[in-house]
Amino acid sequence: MAFKNEQDKVNYQKKYYQDNKARLREQQKQYYYKNKRHIQYVNWRWQITKRFGITEEDYNNLLNNQKSKCAICGRREFAKRGIVIKRLAVDHCHKTGQIRGLLCSKCNGTLGWYEQCKEKIENYLKNNLSF
């Protein structure tokens, strides 16, 4: 279909989407479920490249160096159902961007929380001696 200008094309696309919203959403949902693993893999690969500047090969080298285990607790990362092994999170310094290692989601979340509250925790421990 030929359009007189770009705005006519945009208006046509908006109208088409509004007129076919339910059908298009259903198609998107079916496509996602049919290709879920591939979509998740592509998204993960894009994230580690853009956020951390590393390739899949770099990630796999870190993973092999850590024997596929969390750098803090030494456990493997498992999904809630315990069947699919999840990827370990890339731990990095938020100030420098330097990658420190790969962590399970529990250690990654705990470390992030600790880094935000470090001074308060240290002050508490210093000022509140045990009985």
Residue-wise pLDDT for 101-128, tens only, equals 999 989 999 998 998 898 998 888 888 8
8 A C-beta contact, residue 129 and residue 98: no
For 85-107, what is the mean pLDDT? 90
pLDDT tens-digit map of 23-71: 999 999 999 999 988 998 999 999 999 999 999 999 999 999 999 999 9
Identify the structural domains of the chain with CATH numbers, from first to last. 7-53 (no CATH), 54-131 (3.40.1800.10)
Q: How confident is the model at residue 85 (pLDDT cuts 50, 70, 90)?
A: low
Q: Report how far residue 38's alpha carbon sits from residue 17's, in angstroms, rounded to the nearest whole number.
A: 26
Tell me what pLDDT residue 69 has: 94
Q: Give buried/exposed letters for 23-62 (b at 16+ CB in 10 A, else e).
A: eeeeeeeeeeeeeeeeeeeeeeeeebeeebebeeeebeeb
Separation of alpha carbons 38 and 108, rounded Å: 25
User: Is the whole-model pTM more than 0.85?
Assistant: no
Instruction: Write down the pLDDT at residue 129.
Output: 72
pLDDT for 80 equals 63
Q: What sign does the dihedral 125-112-84-34 (CA atoms) show? A: positive
Find, among 48, 42, 50, the residue nearest to 60 by Cα: 48
CA distance 17 to 23: 9
